[in-house]
Structures are given as C-alpha cells and as structure tokens.
Amino acid sequence: MRQMLSIQGSWSNRWIFILAAMGSSVGLGNIWLFPVMTGQHGGGAFILLYLSCMLLVAVPIMMAEVVIGRHARQNPVNAIEDAAVSAGASRHWRLVGALAIFCGFLIFSYYSVVAGWVLHYLVAMIFGQLNGLGVDQTSRFFNKLLADSQMLLLWHSLFVLLVIWVLAQRVERGLDRAMRFLMPVLFLMLFMLLGFALTTGEFVSATEYLFNFHLQDIGWDAVLIALGHSFFTLALGVGVIMAYSAYMGKSDSIAPTVIAIGVFDTLVALLIGLVVVTVVMAAQMELRAGPGLLFVTLPVAFLQLPGGQVFGFLFFLLAAVAALTSAISLLEPATAWVTERFKWSRARAVLLLGALAWGLGVAALYSLGQLSDLKILGVSIFDLIDITTTILFLPLGGIAVAVLAGWVLDKELLTAELALSNPAMAALWLWLLRFVAPAAVGLIFVMNLYNALYS
C-alpha cells in the first residue's frame, strides 16, 4: 500500500514548490552562459527560440517528472518503479531513476567546488583584494586560486556543510524554510543590482544587445544551444524535479505550475543578463561566456564603476545564493533515496552522501591544482565529471523520462494525475512527449557527443 504522504515531509504551499524549482533552475548557468548566448545568437530572436524549446520540449518533460514524482510521493527510483509496475512494464525502469540521481550527485560534487570559488571572491570583494586590478592581474588572481588546493578545500568543505545542514532536516524545517528565505533574498539582490545597472548609463545599450531581433543570427547552432540550455537550466533529467514533486500537494494543478516555473526562470535569467551586460558594457569590456565572465571580466568591470565594490559584492552574494539553492536540489534526490531505501534518518543519509560527494569534489579540485598532471581519458577529473554528466547522463535521463511517460506508462494514470480540464491539451502533451521531446533531446545528445569527440 502506497503511503499518502512522503515520509520526508511536504511543502507548506504551492508557492514554495515553485520557489524551490526556481532555486534549482537559477544557477551559475544563468549567470555565465545565458546572457552571452542570447546576445551572440540573435537577441530577441534567440529568446523566442528559447521559449519555444522550453514550451515544446522542456516543459512537457518537466510535467512528466512532476506527474511521476507526485503520484508516488517517493524518491525517483521508487517513483519510476511504481509507475512502471502499475503499467505492467519491467521494474528495471527504476534504473533510469538510479542513473538520474547518480548524475545529480556527480554534478553536485563539482558544482560545490565552483561554488567555493564564488565564496572566495565574495571575501575578496569585502576586503578589496581585487580593487585596482586589470584584466591580466585578475586572471592571475583566478589562476592562483585554482592552483591553491588548500584554499579551495576550505571553501568547498564549508559549502558542502551548508548544504548538508539544510538537507539533514525534515522538508518543512530544512528545504522549505531555506527556500522561503533564500529566494526572496535572491530577488531582492537582483532588484538592487538592476537599480545599480540603471545608473551606469549603459542600460539601454544592454537592452538592445539582449532584445534586438536578429533573425539572421539564428542557425542550427542556436537551436542546439537553446535546447541544451533550456534542459540544463530547468534541472531536468537528474531527478531533481521528480524528487521535489514528491512533497507537492495533491490538489495543486501541475501544468500551470510548471509553465510558471519556466516563465519565471526565463525572466530571472533575462534580468540577471541585463545586469551582467550593462556592467560589462559600462566598463567597456568584452563579453565572453564561461567562468572567465564571472571570475575575471565581471569583478574588473564592477570595480571600475562608482560604488562597484558594494555592488560587486552583492553580485557575488547573488551568485552564491543561486549556486546554493541549485546545489541543495542536486543532492536531494539521492538523500531521499537513501532515506527511503535503508530506512535511515535524513540526517544520516545526507551525512554519508555529503561526505562521499565532498571526497569526489576534493579529487576534482586537486585535479585543477596540485594533481593537474593526472589525466583520465585525456582530461582532468574535474572535466571528466563535468563532461560525462552534462553531455552523456543528463540528456539520456531526459530521453528516458520522455519515452517512459510517452510510451510505457499508463495513459489513464498520467492524465488523471495531470488533471487537465481540456482533453486536447492532454493529447498534445502526450504527442510532444512521444515524438518531439525524444527526437529533440536525442539530437542534442548526438551533437554534443560529436562535438566532444571531434572538436
């Protein structure tokens, strides 16, 4: 007999689920990738393309994850097994859940190393260690940090402990309260930073960079980038949304909730983008995507502007909060699984998992510094975890969820859980899941693999 409530607890209301899902989706990807990819691939045209990818591919998959997670009210492994068995399919489908939570766990291990870099910059901003440095000197500061394994170990450990502390408690006391506090703080900082951006005189140029419609810049690469990013940013394919949905109320309607998450995430990404682009333009610097944007260009740019030290600090605080809420979500599916599988307390489960992920993170951070000569398949441990998760596991998880929900699971069960008032919408959802989503995510998978192997 299935339990009616998750043993981990539940969200205090529908909005907290939305906040938590947004916390998971707004992360470092929104800061160092989205603004530049938008500007370089067609501005407003790219935003439209991105929204279409979201609606046609990411949202249907997210709805499937929510349906499966909420129906079973258990961790992704059990939830998938439960749904597969009640449709008369093999219980081995649960391996899809296992792969997803393992992938989340792996991403967590290196994500918390990067979050450690953010914490280091936060302190450097407070003490003015970066004041007056140019691009070359700030680059040197960053490279010195990457080589300083002891320092990284300290920040990485602190960050992992913070995540363990939140996850060790019941959902109501831990996750729920953390999201209730952290997300409004994140929005508040974002609005303050927007206010600062407005004073720099470059806000209008930044708006033009992000929103002007350049249809001619849309090519195949833009489609692939938009698809891949919508997937990564919405935290799909790693069991996060499925795990969070287990704590959702039975009467909350799924489709509007998921669409709201997609729309809010895009809005936040655009607002962060406006801050990033304005500040870089005001300092007359070049915009390039990736870690260099956050750890070299942005500190130099902020510190050239009046009030830059305060707002630069605020920006790194925003990045730290965004990284924290994403990291918390990455470790939750594994925590829920260990708790339910071994009947352990959440505290015990997360201590064990946190310690394992911490160890893996330590290997990853040493592979950037003292052990940089150690290569596996030609890359560092850090890059190996990054590549195998984002290029291999994440899209595979997404395809598997789409195929499972579209082709294997019981249609009555799915549509009853989804409770759409319009049957045509339910049919459209199933059609997108069966054909469009697997084909689109399959395409990203093949292209990413090709690019990784041959370029």
Q: Which residues bind ligand PHE (CB under 6 A)?
A: 24-25, 27-30, 107, 232-233, 235, 238, 240, 326, 329-330
Q: Toward ligand PHE, which CB reaches closer, 40 or 329?
A: 329
Q: Toward ligand PHE, which CB reaches closer, 272 or 303?
A: 272
Provide, rounded to whole angstroms, the least separation between the CB of residue 386 and ligand PHE.
11
Q: Toward ligand PHE, which CB reaches closer, 81 or 265?
A: 265
The CB-nearest residue to ligand PHE is 27
Provide, rounded to whole angstroms, the least separation between the CB of residue 410 and ligand PHE.
28
Whole-angstrom distance, CA of residue 244 vs CA of residue 252:
13
Q: Toward ligand PHE, which CB reaches closer, 27 or 369?
A: 27
Which residues, in sequence order, are CB contacts of 367 under 8 Å at separation 6+? 374, 380, 381, 382
Structure-block tokens of residue 227: 């698809």
Place of tokens 């850090």: 382
Q: Toward ligand PHE, which CB reaches closer, 29 or 299?
A: 29
Provide, rounded to whole angstroms, the least separation between the CB of residue 168 and ligand PHE.
19
Provide, rounded to whole angstroms, the least separation between the CB of residue 106 and ligand PHE.
11
| Other residues' Cβ atoms within 10 Å of the Cβ of residue 154 | 14
Question: Does an H or E element contain 160, and which?
Answer: helix 149-167
Q: Toward ligand PHE, which CB reaches closer, 84 or 350?
A: 350
User: H-type helices in 172-219, by residue range?
Assistant: 175-198, 203-211
Provide, rounded to whole angstroms, the least separation between the CB of residue 157 and ligand PHE.
21
Exposed, middle or buried, 239 (CB in 10 Å: 0-12/13-18/19+)?
buried
Maximum separation of any 2 CA atoms in the chain, in Å: 66
| Other residues' Cβ atoms within 10 Å of the Cβ of residue 284 | 9
User: With contact defined as beta carbons under 8 Å apart, do 397 and 103 qualify?
Assistant: yes
Provide, rounded to whole angstroms, the least separation between the CB of residue 173 and ligand PHE.
22
Whole-angstrom distance, CA of residue 343 vs CA of residue 333:
15
Nearest to 410 by CA among 59, 71, 60: 71
Provide, rounded to whole angstroms, the least separation between the CB of residue 307 and ligand PHE.
27
Q: Toward ligand PHE, which CB reaches closer, 278 or 390?
A: 390
